Amino acid sequence: MPNTQQVPSATPVSFSLRDDLSAGLVVFLVALPLCLGIALASGAPLFSGIIAGIVGGTVVAMLSGSQVSVAGPAAGLAVIVATAIQHLGRYEVFLAAVVLAGVFQMILGLLRLGVIGDYVPNSVIKGMLAAIGIVIFLKQIPHALGRDKDFEGDFGFLGASGDNTLTDILSAIWSATPAALLIAIVCLAILLVWERPQLRKFGFVRAIPGPLLVVIAGVAMNELFRVLFAGFQLSGPEHLVNLPVAGSLSDFFQQFKTPDFTAFGNKDVYVTGLTIAVVGSIETLLSVEAADKLDPYKRITNTNRELLAQGAGNAFAGLIGGLPITSVVVRTSANIYAGGRTRKASLTHGVLMLIAALLFPGILNRTPLACLAAILLVIGYKLARPEVFRQIYRSGMDQFLPFIVTVTAIVFTDLLKGVLIGLAVGLFFVIRANHHLPITLVHREGHYLLRFNKDASFVNKSALKNALRSVPKNTTLWIDASKALYIDKDIFEVVEEFRQQAHLRNITLELKNFDRHAEAMSQLAPVSAH
């Protein structure tokens, strides 16, 4: 049922600031290469991805209606952004479209269209989460093996390198880089050991996030390889984090860009802005629904407020040179699994991204992508663990089929296409359920009662016709609408057609409580006929 009265995302209990700071650090480590990769895939300046990450982690985090959702540049918009930049000619013109996208999103929030996400079936949301987990896991295998042809954050089945997800894995196996493989194995082992309950009872284990330890270990191993085995180490921007390095404070601020304000007279800019607003809003609403499912405290996000926050973030990002922003499941799931419980975690990740870009980009650029792949492999597994599939299967085919179709479609296409396919299958089951459930027909000694058990619409027309056809000649039929709050015109027309023909079969017809639907009933003849 749609959530028409949404509860503000108030924190129900007190949470540890240390947990949020620790989770923010983990999200920062995961988000940094994703921001750079998505900027690369979008054909935009690399620093534009960092700007979007900073704005998503600060402006959006402070205004957001969700306690655990994390915003930033989204892979789902990369193709739209790349096409728009090419079509509009200059990045500064595109930034004007990003500003407009933010304004359009705020209008959507003011119009209270955030409820759209409430109409997505839970089976599709759960399928989306499991599919994203599978995609993350599969996409990180090549990075763990040292094949870094596709950018971080490329979650489409067809990769930028020309391969698809499966062939990319096969190519990575045949061309595995020993240094990357060693780093990934050691980092995975650290993460798995660090999460064991036997170790969690020690204070120093709880104080140091496993992903931070993994990054330190990955950098240390690669530097050790450099010293002891020259040529064996991972080197070059394709295998390491590649954060732009500014030579001075002045150079740093020159990386920020402003939109071409004269472009607001170009209608193509408005079309692009509206496209980004609609697609970005859909992805945000889906991600927020997923975040509420993952939130261990099951808080309900005010989605209208979320659209306002995302709109403000996009408008601000466009003004300073950033890519469009949405709520992103990868960052959000990393936040929740790292222990983030309030918006302070997202805010921490945004502040850390700003500090890192300003003060020590050179140090971060020593981080191997293989150790970050280990972190994402664990996150992917947690999202798509086998128990999730078993639980949905035990819920019945009406839940499992939309779930598994959504999973398959997302894995072999992309997020938005997969969700739309899953929605289509979910809608089929909704129509099928409504087709059978709203009408009950019972009889006793030549008297029949047809009762509407709930609201009736055009999807129930076939079931109603079949029920009416089954009423034999020379009987009495009561049609009772007491339990229906709404009956649409199609249903009334079927009843009226039957009323007009009832006397030919010597059926006495009585209609009960149809007068509550006065507007539609005004077109019908008297309520009984012989």
Helix H, strand E, coil C: the string for 20-32 is HHHHHHHHHHHHH
Q: Are 497 and 515 in contact (CB under 8 A)?
A: no
Q: Quick one: which of 488, 486, 471, 477 has its CA closest to 512?
A: 477
Q: Quick one: which of 27, 4, 23 has its CA closest to 327?
A: 27
- Three-class SS state of 326: strand
Tokens representing residue 441 in the block = 């027909």
Query: What is residue 455's predicted lDDT score, i.e. its pLDDT?
Result: 77
Query: What is residue 528's predicted lDDT score, i.e. its pLDDT?
Result: 42
Q: How far, in Å, CA of 73 to CA of 35, rounded?
A: 6
Mean pLDDT, contiguous 10-residue spans, the chain (530 residues): 42 72 94 92 93 97 95 90 94 98 97 87 90 94 91 76 86 94 96 84 78 94 93 89 89 94 95 96 93 91 95 98 96 94 96 94 93 94 94 89 93 86 82 68 88 79 86 92 81 86 90 64 44
Query: What is residue 524's predicted lDDT score, i.e. its pLDDT?
Result: 46
DSSP 8-class letter at 243: -
- Three-class SS state of 510: strand
- The DSSP bridge partners found for residue 73 are 325
Q: How far, in Å, CA of 381 to CA of 11, rounded?
A: 28
Q: Quick one: which of 175, 176, 142 has its CA closest to 160?
A: 142
**Residues near 477 by beta carbon (within 8 Å), at least 6 away in sequence:** 448, 449, 450, 471, 502, 507, 508, 509, 510
Q: Are 72 and 34 in contact (CB under 8 A)?
A: yes
- Per the document, the length of the chain is 530
Query: What is residue 338's predicted lDDT score, i.e. its pLDDT?
Result: 92
Q: How far, in Å, CA of 306 to CA of 65, rounded?
A: 5
